[in-house]
Structure 1
Amino acid sequence: MSTPQSGKMKKDESFLGKLGGTLVRKKKSKEVSDLHEEGRNAVNSPLQPSSVSLLPEDTLLVSLSECITMSLSTEENAERSMLDPLSRNSPRFKELQRVLIDWINNELEEDRIIVKDLEEDLYDGQVLQKLFEKLSGQKLNVAEVTQSEIGQKQKLQKVLEAVNEFLRPHGWTIEWSVDSIHTKNLVTIISLLVALVMHFQAPIRLPEQVSVQVVVVKKREGILQTSHVTKELTTSTEIMTGRFERDAFDTLLDHAPDKLNIVKKSLITFVNKHLNKLNLEVTELESQFADGVYLVLLMGLLEDYFIPLYNFFLTPEIFEQKIHNVSFAFELMQDGGLRKPKAQPEDVVNLNLKSTLRVLYNLFTNYKNVE
């Protein structure tokens, strides 16, 4: 997570006077080379759409030609599929790939593994092995490095068997295979990654409602037939993260609003007990914590340290700045030994009452005896 520069913040002098000292925290930075990625794609993916020399309709013909060529030597009723180039260039589809790549790189940072391209970097099973081992805590008995196609497929087979054994009992539909992954089918690779993100409840936010068009070529009675199929890769965030499951706060909101008010008053009393030390006071939980400022300050008070102003936006004005503040507060919670909040930073910023209550109740449970 990037750290805002102090020059980008508007300083509130009267507010600054209420804060006394600083605590140095480590800054995190991340560098991505777009030039390297473009160069690699240009060399390794000559059949991918080119914004300079090919129009979308031309690229579709190239893709269909490749798909048909693959099918000419196949048996009767054999089927091949390929991502429609228009879908490949979709901004939402590209955003989904970016989020997944960032997630993998974050998970495998300690292994010094850097993924640039999902098709080129995941097809041989090496990255998938490391990712699954990290997520599941299991160690797979497979060869570390395999160069031959046979060796790669054998390794990929064992990795996918382990993944499927993990996912199938929980109702997941297995939409991937050794052949589809090894032939760099981007749709099936992403389907597998999305399933892993959802099953292991990864702390990321996937773009919602991402669908793509897949060109399907089937050989029937010696004739090649083509069709387009819509493939849904992501649904709503609520469904993907499993936050549709009801809990005590859902019950309070739906059936016991009087008790909900009691809970809110208790939480307000708790947070004000500490924020009053800075001459601050909360009256509305969902709105006053939405920009993350009070959450950050509250964590500093509960853990008895002051937080440098350059670590967060004191007067956030845009959505991204508020997200940064809430995410930073979540990091402070984890540094204090608390589990990562189930709520997403976006939920708190978007004034989701249940998410804010869950975060604050977690603080209350852990710090209710702190003076």
Structure 2
Amino acid sequence: RPGAADPGSRSHVTHCDESFLGKLGGTLVRKKRSKEVSDLHEEGKNAINAPLLPAGTDIHPEDTLLEENAERVMLDPTSRENLKFKDLVKVLIDWINSELEEDRIIVKDLEEDCYDGQVLQKLFEKLSGRKLNVAEVTQSEIGQKQKLQTVLEAVNEMLRPHGWTIEWSVDSIHSKNLVSIVYLLVALAMHFQAPIRLPEHVSVQVVVVKKREGILQTALVTKELTSTTENFDFVLFATERDAFDTLLDHAPDKLNVVKTSLITFVNKHLNKLNLEVTELESQFADGVYLILLMGLLEDYFVPLYNFFLTPESFEQKVHNVAFAFELMQDGGLKKPKARPEDVVNLNLKSTLRVLYNLFTNYKNSE
């Protein structure tokens, strides 16, 4: 009958469908088995390479995609949390922000803010007084690397004749290698005699991953970022040597005269609160007297919840001194050249500089 289903043809269609699905199923099974073999092979490679990895080190998938004989360098996670290294990073960030304040550039993270060359370009131009021929804003990876190439060529050309070892490259900076970025910034700070104190003896460990005959080989290597203070003492305030350098270096016998003058000045104001200073370096080290002194000089009351009235830890003292520095800047003074940590650590020259700055600005205040 026309249009009626033929049992024979129906059986034929069913047979063909089963045959097709069978073939498709076989293909899927083969692909699944092939993937299992591939996964097993990868697992075997990882098992072979695993004993070579330093304990606690995470190797990301992209780090295994290396060409033969290529290598990748990463900061060891333990070193990233090292307090001296974190202090160095903070000093460098504060320095960059101080230098680029007029450009309204604020750096919060060295890896994220320096990799594309924009900040490094502005910093180099500010320090060197030299304008680089680069595009102002570059979004593409190619454009960023071209800018980095121009900036680093200028930096390397300037540093190499002075014996600097170039520990950075376009690829390492652009790949956000923090160690390379810090090496570069430390070199710039020292070459241009930045008025900052770099923490001494800062070393980190980096994980070096190399591919040899298809196998990843890893090793921990120690990198020294800063050495002793003696090697870069010229960095400290060298751009603005003042009376205290001369005083401490050539006329230490007159130091007591200066200290007496400063003590007289601070006590003239602190006596209003029935407070008195006899030792400059120790009694200002926790920041409390500095804060109270600023309130007296500017004629306002500083709320007690803004600082630690009886600081116990190093961090609380640093907080107080840093807060006093903020009050000074709010009063129109330049940002102190000293670091809060230096004042807390009883560094006489740093404390004298801070107090002398107050003396020159408020010596006629009643």
- TM-score normalised according to structure 2 size: 0.64
Provide the C-alpha distance between the structure 2 equivalents of 1:60 and 1:312, rounded to a whole number of angstroms.
40
Per the alignment, residue 182 of structure 1 pairs with 174
Deviations 1:331-353 (A, max 9, x none): 22222332222222112122222
2:341 aligned counterpart, secondary structure = helix
Counterparts of 1:75-224 in structure 2, within 5 Å, are 80-83=71-74, 85=76, 91-92=82-83, 95=86, 99=90, 103=94, 118=111, 122-129=114-121, 132=124, 141-164=133-156, 172-198=164-190, 199=192, 201=194, 208-213=201-206, 215=208
- RMSD of aligned alpha carbons: 4.5
Per the alignment, residue 355 of structure 2 pairs with 360
Using the TM superposition, give the Cα deviation of residue 138 of structure 1 relative to its aligned residue in structure 2, in angstroms: 6.9
Provide the C-alpha distance between the structure 2 equivalents of 1:101 and 1:355, rounded to a whole number of angstroms.
18
Provide the C-alpha distance between the structure 2 equivalents of 1:275 and 1:113, rounded to a whole number of angstroms.
36
Per the alignment, residue 296 of structure 1 pairs with 291
The letter for the 2-side match of 1:83 is M
Deviations 1:286-332 (A, max 9, x none): 22211212212222222333323232222222222221221122222
8 Å contact from structure 1 (residues 125, 159) kept in 2: yes
1:57 aligned counterpart, secondary structure = coil
Q: Find 2:269's aligned residue among 274, 291, 297.
A: 274
* 1:70 is the counterpart of 2:66: yes
The letter for the 1-side match of 2:54 is E
Taking structure 1 as reference, are residues 123 and 319 closer, same or farther at Cα in structure 2, changes over 3 Å only?
Answer: closer
Deviations 1:130-188 (A, max 9, x none): 55567778765533554544333212222334545676687754432223323444432
Provide the C-alpha distance between the structure 1 equivalents of 2:61 and 2:221, rounded to a whole number of angstroms.
14
The letter for the 2-side match of 1:187 is V
Range with bigger deviation, 236-245 or 293-302: 236-245
Provide the C-alpha distance between the structure 2 equivalents of 1:295 and 1:171, rounded to a whole number of angstroms.
42
* 1:57 is the counterpart of 2:54: yes
Provide the C-alpha distance between the structure 2 equivalents of 1:163 and 1:299, rounded to a whole number of angstroms.
41
The letter for the 2-side match of 1:370 is S
Deviations 1:173-214 (A, max 9, x none): 443222332344443222123334554737686575223245
Provide the C-alpha distance between the structure 2 equivalents of 1:96 and 1:292, rounded to a whole number of angstroms.
19
Taking structure 1 as reference, are residues 295 and 143 closer, same or farther at Cα in structure 2, changes over 3 Å only?
Answer: same
Larger Rg: 2
More helix by share: 2
Range with bigger deviation, 270-279 or 249-258: 249-258
Provide the C-alpha distance between the structure 1 equivalents of 2:87 and 2:154, rounded to a whole number of angstroms.
25
8 Å contact from structure 2 (residues 317, 344) kept in 1: yes
Query: Which consecutive unaligned segments of at least 5 residues does structure 2 have?
Result: 1-49
Using the TM superposition, give the Cα deviation of residue 244 of structure 1 relative to its aligned residue in structure 2, in angstroms: 8.3
Deviations 1:30-59 (A, max 9, x none): xxxxxxxxxxxxxxxxxxxxxxxx895377
8 Å contact from structure 1 (residues 60, 84) kept in 2: no
Per the alignment, residue 324 of structure 2 pairs with 329
- TM-score normalised according to structure 1 size: 0.64
Per the alignment, residue 307 of structure 1 pairs with 302
Aligned residues: 310
Provide the C-alpha distance between the structure 1 equivalents of 2:88 and 2:346, rounded to a whole number of angstroms.
28
Range with bigger deviation, 252-261 or 268-277: 252-261
Deviations 1:15-41 (A, max 9, x none): xxxxxxxxxxxxxxxxxxxxxxxxxxx
- Greater relative contact order structure (CA < 8 Å, 6+ sep): 1
1:212 aligned counterpart, secondary structure = strand
Provide the C-alpha distance between the structure 2 equivalents of 1:292 and 1:121, rounded to a whole number of angstroms.
32
Taking structure 1 as reference, are residues 286 and 104 closer, same or farther at Cα in structure 2, changes over 3 Å only?
Answer: closer
Provide the C-alpha distance between the structure 2 equivalents of 1:112 and 1:253, rounded to a whole number of angstroms.
36
The letter for the 1-side match of 2:225 is L
Taking structure 1 as reference, are residues 331 and 166 closer, same or farther at Cα in structure 2, changes over 3 Å only?
Answer: farther
Using the TM superposition, give the Cα deviation of residue 229 of structure 1 relative to its aligned residue in structure 2, in angstroms: 4.7
Provide the C-alpha distance between the structure 2 equivalents of 1:297 and 1:210, rounded to a whole number of angstroms.
38
Range with bigger deviation, 202-211 or 154-163: 202-211
